[in-house]
Amino acid sequence: MRAIDEGRSLEALEERSGEDLWQRVFDAIEDPIFIQNASGVILRANRAAGALLGLSAEALVGRFCYEVVHGTASFIEGCPFVRSWASRRRESYTLFMHDRWYRVTIDPLLDAKQDVAGAIHIITDVSEIKRIDELRSHLAAILETSEEAIVGTALDGRIVSMNASAQRLFGFDSAGAQGRPVTDTVPDERKDEWNAAISRVIGGDAGKRFESEIVVGGERLEISVGISRVLDERGVVGGISFMIHDLSAQRRAERALVAYVTEASLRMKVPLGAVSEEVDRVTALLAGGAITPLEAVAILKVQKTHLDQIARNLADLDRAVANSDGEIPEAYRRFFAGE
């Protein structure tokens, strides 16, 4: 505690440092920094500035800023320091140098008349930030063009963003969705299911997927919903994402195909059973000598006629399905049409 107490005043800290405190402060900062006068001549620089520019901090003093940073004989076009002469406020730009991206920031030093007397020149390595921003932009483009409807909400479930597919699904744009509960279009009897799933995800579940329904334009749509947490850079839950897939067409197709299979089964079961029984009976009679082969052939021809009629009935059903308004897969429709 005594060591901490000794540093409580600036004077004590200066005394303990044994040298120029402000230079030590400069050198403790990892961003390259130097102070320059109104002409751009460097008056003071930190160790990081020297390391970046390939000179010692002392060797930078007395050099023009544009000379050591850009290797030019005058201020570059659009120089933030020159812009600060007019704006009297912070100016900055991004610079690619030594295979890295840097953010160069100028904070003008104003005299009593509010004229620029010099500036603090800060160079910050933003390569990693730029890489992350580019990655995020790429991911954002993927999400925006995804066929899946993707909705982002705050922790209270209120919409903050949605992609184009979500706008098409819900029938309103991002601006119109802002602040609306994500359960706004969920039928009342399904809201508890959604709220429970959201609570579980926020509480620690990695993710939750379930099937549900929404009502859009008076039409009830069957959907699949995936809910996940959105973590910020601290790893703390900052929001929720919803990935929604419209199952309505798929479910209608499934019901249409089930109806077809059921109808086909009904059309075949009884007549095929009768034909099978008749063939068994004829076989037994022929084996026992009760009928002649010619009589057996005559009976089987009748059954063949029955089988042909069953085939025609199924062909009629196939055509009816192929030409119906039912949303069956196109491959099945072509099959039923005999293509």
Q: What is the pLDDT along the chain (339 residues), one digit of tens a residue?
A: 444 455 456 566 556 555 577 778 888 899 999 999 999 999 999 999 999 999 998 999 999 999 999 999 999 998 999 999 999 999 999 988 888 899 999 999 999 889 999 999 999 999 888 887 777 777 777 777 788 889 989 988 899 888 889 888 888 877 778 888 889 889 999 999 999 888 888 888 777 889 999 998 888 898 999 999 887 777 788 889 999 998 887 787 777 777 777 767 666 766 777 888 888 888 888 888 888 888 888 888 888 887 888 777 777 766 766 676 666 656 555 655 655
Q: What count of residues does the chain have? A: 339
What is the spatial distance between Cα 58 and Cα 67, in angstroms, rounded to a whole number?
15
pLDDT of residue 336: 58
How far apart, in Å, are the Cα atoms of 284 and each of 2, 277, 290? Answer: 113, 11, 9
pLDDT of residue 4: 45
pLDDT of residue 243: 92
Q: Give the number of other CB atoms < 10 A from CB of residue 151.
A: 24
Beta bridge partners of 270: none
Quickly list DSSP for 100-116: EEEEEEEEEEE-TTS-E
Burial class (CB in 10 A: 0-12, 13-18, 19+), 225: buried
Contact call for residues 322 and 330 (beta carbons, < 8 A): no
What is the spatial distance between Cα 6 and Cα 215, in angstroms, rounded to a whole number?
69
Find the Cα–Cα–Cα–Cα dihedral 158, 161, 166, 168, rounded to 10°.
Answer: 110
Quickly list DSSP for 153-210: E-TTSBEEEE-HHHHHHHTS-HHHHTT-BTTTTS-HHHHHHHHHHHHHHHHT-SEEEE
What is the spatial distance between Cα 52 and Cα 16, in angstroms, rounded to a whole number?
29
Largest CA distance in the chain: 130
What is the spatial distance between Cα 25 and Cα 110, in angstroms, rounded to a whole number?
22
What is the spatial distance between Cα 309 and Cα 53, in angstroms, rounded to a whole number?
92
What is the spatial distance between Cα 168 and Cα 174, in angstroms, rounded to a whole number?
10
Q: Which of 166, 159, 160 is nearest to 143 (CA)?
A: 166
Burial class (CB in 10 A: 0-12, 13-18, 19+), 268: middle
* Residue 228 Rama label (left phi>0; alpha psi -120 to 50; beta): beta
Tokens of 172: 């309103």
Contact call for residues 151 and 166 (beta carbons, < 8 A): yes
Find the Cα–Cα–Cα–Cα dihedral 252, 258, 260, 265, rounded to 10°.
Answer: -170
Quickly list DSSP for 32-97: -EEEEETT-BEEEE-HHHHHHHTS-HHHHTTSBHHHHHT--SSPPTT-HHHHHHHH-S-EEEEEEE
pLDDT of residue 3: 45
Burial class (CB in 10 A: 0-12, 13-18, 19+), 251: middle
* Beta strands 149-153; 237-246: pairing state: antiparallel
Q: Is the dihedral of CA 135, 141, 144, 149 positive or negative?
A: negative
Q: What is the residue whose two structure tokens read 């004829």?
A: 282
pLDDT of residue 2: 46
Q: How far is CA 328 from the centre of its chain?
A: 30
